[in-house]
A and B are shown apart, each in its own frame.
Chain A
């Protein structure tokens, strides 16, 4: 038992150690390619939001087409608090995320009764409400259709304006938030989420307060999406209302369906994959939506586990066939 365990960890170490080195040294490799660094910073931001959506959709089974709304609450929230009070940016980012989590939970309380199609509609409506609020804000505090400016990231008086320094700040955020998600879904909370997703009648019958946990999942999702949004606004220093548009929410959904739900790597592969695709298709903008549509259909119909799910299946099949062959040889 112990022996196999240590072999597995060694195997994983062999895989993760070079990856860690690569992740840490990438800015050196890209030192003359600041566009590439910007791309990596965006990857970090979208990985965090996709992980939040994975908690909501992958684990608790609730679909949401309002991710960009919560992303926007984080962006505009941190921007407004910072611009009006001058409080340190990291603090305003966390504040905005907590406010977003609270809004998500208040939204979820009545909405948690809905499922699938009706939940989708409710989240789409919510996204439109936020979009309206942002573009026609009271007193024009959000800059309406023009967008708004704010300061770029700084920590304890240290400016993280450059993509290179922001990259490391983002890396710390990604590691922390993905680790917390990973621990959370492997606890009694995560078990309750999965139980609700698989069979909400039985979950309620077995003593899980289904409504409470559905609301909690929305809260975690709201926090992650808003934190990503707050990172975004302080990376770019500017936010336009297009970021909050409904279409963006669909892209988050495609990310986790593409990458695969209920895993650590799924949201990462999904976010990076779709961002890469956006770069590639950047020159053919009119075909972007077409590509997303086709991609979404392919993944819903043929690869419901996403890229990571398919890879895992392939790995277990390979392992099983290997194991079978060994057994055969022994007998």
Chain B
């Protein structure tokens, strides 16, 4: 379980996140929505360690992770995807996944240097596991393609698989459906649910596609101008007058 307590982040005069409180229970899909510039990605960057909040606390399973570096937070079990595709473009698809297993591989420098039996066995197991993970999103046939050569939608799926490689307990998805066509979006719905059930983790998702958000989320938080505007089940959010005015309103 991940708890965000009174988190505030300032960039000079600008308050990007103002006293945000969130709770992501085990095995749930939680969505974070809000208009552009509401501070959603900033919130992700605080949780994943890219920024350190000025105030407040972030607690993962009773351990405060505030001030820890991104690599440590990843290894404690919070893994993420990026809003803009952020792969190792010149590595193969499967290498991208194996890179993210770095911390779970226990070979030391000398095992690596001399390719000891331990190293060889561990590498083999890692590649097998990576292959299984790729089967999740049906990318196994492209395992040895260069990651940068995949179509955009598949690169986004690869990012999700790469984030799963570290065996996270919390998966942060930053606009997973952005740039996907409607068929890919439909598949994404099923993939996220399948991941959550099979991998035994919780998902925190920033997303603009309301069909996807309302369709799969168990709980929704709404950010506006860095502040929490509302939170509740998808039905409650859809009927919340504040949310309709600030976010869904206007054009509709």
Contacts and interface: CB of A to CB of B under 8 A. Distances in A.
A208 interface: yes
B105 interface: yes
Interface size class of A (residues with CB under 8 A): 20 to 34
A132 interface: no
A216 B108 CA distance: 13
Contacts of A203: 88, 99
Nearest to B166: A207
Given A188-B107, A198-B89, A201-B86, A206 B115 contact: no
B171 to A, nearest CB: 13
B11 interface: no
Given A205-B74, A206-B162, A187 B100 contact: no
A183 interface: yes
Max chain A Cβ within 10 angstroms of own Cβ: one of B87, B100, B105: B100
Contacts, number: 89
A142 B69 CA distance: 43
Contacts of B246: none
Nearest to A182: B115
B99 A206 contact: yes
Max chain A Cβ within 10 angstroms of own Cβ: one of B48, B90, B98, B99: B99
A180 B90 CA distance: 24
B112 A188 contact: yes
A236 interface: no
Contacts of A184: 112-113
A205 B168 CA distance: 12
Contacts of B95: 191
10 smallest CB-CB distances across A and B, nearest first, come from A187-B112, A207-B74, A206-B100, A207-B103, A198-B88, A189-B112, A204-B70, A202-B86, A207-B75, A195-B99
Given A195-B88, A206-B100, 4 more contacts: A194-B91, A201-B86, A203-B88, A205-B74
Interface of A: 180, 183-184, 186-192, 194-195, 198-199, 201-210, 216
